[in-house]
Each structure stands twice: as C-alpha cells, then as structure tokens.
Amino acid sequence: MNILVCGGAGYIGSHTVKELKENGHNPIVYDNFEAGHKEAIINTKFVFGNLSDCELLKETLIKEKIDAVIHFAGYLAVGESVKIPEKYYNNNVTNTLNLLTCMKECNINKIVFSSSAAVYGAPKRIPINEEDQLDPINPYGETKLIVEKMLKYFEDAYGFHFVALRYFNASGADPSGNIGEDHYPETHLIPIVINSIIHGKEFKIFGTDYETKDGTCVRDYIHVTDLAQAHVLAINHLITGGQSDIFNVGSGNGFSNKEIINVSEEIIGKKAIVNYTERRAGDPPTLLADSTKIKKILKWNPKYSEIKTIISTAYNWHKSHPNGYKRI
C-alpha cells in the first residue's frame, strides 16, 4: 500500500518508514525538515512540504495514489508548549485540520495519528488505560486531545477510519545504528543523558521532590522500533477493514530519571554531571502504560523495550553520530 508519512524524516517517523518498507508497504515521506533529517530517509521517496500547503498536499495525495496516512508532524516539547502555546495550537491543531480536509477532498479516509500519553494529564491511577480520565495539564497534551476529538467527528461526518496511538516515552535507536534520535534542541531525557556523558557536559534534572520512589519523575520508556511496529500493525488494521480505535503504546515498566542516569552510566562507563533543579511546569510525577488493549487487538508484541536494550541502542547511535545528523 502507498502510505503518506507526514513527518517521516523525524525520529519516530524515520523508524516507522523503515518498518513499513520491511513489511511490504510503499512509504512516501512528506516533511519540511524543520525537525526531521534528510539523512534519516534512506532510499525512500520524499516530498518537501508543509501541512499548511493544501495545494501541495492534495497534489501529493493524488499523484502518489495514497491509500492511507500516518501523521507524525506535530511539535512535541511539553515545556515549550507551556511557554509558547500558540505555536502548538497552530501546528498541531490547525495544520492537522488542513491535512484531514485535504484527505477528505481526495477521498482518502484512513489515518494513523501520533497522539500522546500527555492527554491523561496527571493520572489518578497507575498504570493508565485507555478508558481513564482525559485531563491534559499542558498545551501539548491539549492539542493531541483536540485532534483525537477531530478524528472522531470526521469519522461521524465523512466515514473516516483512524487509529490514535497514545505514546509513552519513545526511546532507543534502530539496532542497525543507521538511524536514531536527534532533536534540536533536545528535550528527551535519554539522549540528553547520553550526549552529556559522551561530551562531559552538565545537564539538568527538573524536580527531586515528586511523590515517587526517589523524588524524580517516573516514565514508561518504549523502544522506537517497537513503537514503529505498532504503526505498521495499525495501518494493516485499517486497510483490512478494522474499526477506528485508540491504543496506549508503552512498555508497562516505569523508570525514574535517576534510574535512567544510573543505567546510562553503567552502559557507557562514565559518570554523569547532573544539576538537580526545580520542577518544570507541566510535568506529571508518574506516567505508566497499560498496553493490554493493543496487545490483544493488534497482536502487538514489543521485542526491544527492556531498558538496557533501549539505552544500549541509543548509545550505539550517538557514539557513531556524536554531533547528530548533519544540519541542512
């Protein structure tokens, strides 16, 4: 099937493109390289474009005979969303509406959406399942929830079929070492820790007084290859007539910030230089997934999400790319 991957040159997008190809699909990447990297697209057709460009979007959807869309092209930094909310509403909501409208006009009605565990806010119970209360505590999470609602309304009005995947903490790198995680600026803990240790630089940990086992935030880390495979299963589900649905995608195992630092130090063999500072706005103490539903319905079976595998594959990529991808 021809799959348009919006944001396919980004971290999760590039890993999903690789998995799509290995599973017999034909991905076409649509990206403006604002957060993605040309080097991450290996032997894959791509279109340089913005989701705000409806004319180019429709031209691409028709020309490439697209069967379904995977949408990764959203901003993702919680802290930035609190400081600059309009940036997140404009891109994550308005541009997604543009995409859905173009799909409707081109008679394409299947989409897998990159959502987030941030839609739950500060959950009242752990682990979180898909039926729990949705109460985002930052603009990033709010924009993801708005899009989930938009998808349901497009289903009701126009017969769209969608899968929304609520990610927990995507992490690690492809076991081949050819593609990995490189955001600028980087906001994710594992690459921050690894790069800081490699370069001997100090980094910050926000908050040591949370009600967790060691006072630092606890997160559920899912290997990016396992996450990419979830997207392939979601696409296959829609193409074979599966119903619209929403799934958590996480490992079900929680690790604190301090534990991530300790495992990274063990794998790399060097000590980290850590500056423990005040809490950051918009960070819930603990996020931990109940992924029973996706395992049951889509038969998802994560293979790489043990924490030492996650950090080892991430370190392998960063060690061979100490300055990340080339900037264009």
- The yes-or-no answer to whether 2-171+221-249 and 189-219+252-320 have a common fold is no
**Tell me, what's the pLDDT at 224?**
98
Q: Say how far apart CA 94 and CA 17 lie, in whole Å.
A: 25
323: confidence class by pLDDT, cuts 50, 70, 90: confident
How many Cβ atoms sit within 10 Å of the Cβ of residue 9?
27
Q: What is the pLDDT of residues 244-260, one digit of tens each?
A: 999 999 999 999 999 99
pLDDT in tens, 157-184: 999 999 999 999 999 999 999 999 998 8
Could you name the CATH architecture of 2-171+221-249? 3-Layer(aba) Sandwich (3.40)
Residue 64's pLDDT band, with cuts at 50, 70 and 90, is very high
Residue 270 has pLDDT above 60, yes or no: yes
What tens digit of pLDDT does each residue of 7-21 get? 999 999 999 999 999
Q: How confident is the model at residue 285 (pLDDT cuts 50, 70, 90)?
A: confident
**281 pLDDT more than 90:** no
* pLDDT of amino acid 328: 53
| Two tokens, residue 230 | 């979830």
At 88-145, the pLDDT tens digits run: 999 999 999 999 999 999 999 999 999 999 999 988 899 999 999 999 999 999 999 9
CB neighbour list of residue 89: distance below 8 Å, 6 or more residues apart: 139, 143
Average pLDDT (211-235) is 96
Phi, psi of 323 (to 5 degrees): -110, 15
* CA distances from residue 272 to 185, 218, 219, 292, 310 in whole angstroms, order as listed: 19, 19, 20, 35, 18
Q: Flag whether pLDDT at 318 surpasses 80.
A: yes
Q: How far is it, in rounded angstroms, from Cα 163 to Cα 232?
A: 11
Identify which has the larger pLDDT, 328 or 159.
Answer: 159
Distance of alpha carbon 284 from alpha carbon 272, whole angstroms? 24
The amino acid at residue 60 is T
Give the pLDDT of residue 102: 98
Residue-range domain boundaries for the chain: 2-171+221-249, 189-219+252-320
Nearest to 96, CA basis, from 33, 165, 6: 6
Domain 189-219+252-320 in CATH 1.10.340.70? The answer is: no
Report, as residue numbers or ranges, the catalytic residues: 140
Average pLDDT, the chain: 95
Confidence of residue 325 (pLDDT cuts 50, 70, 90): confident
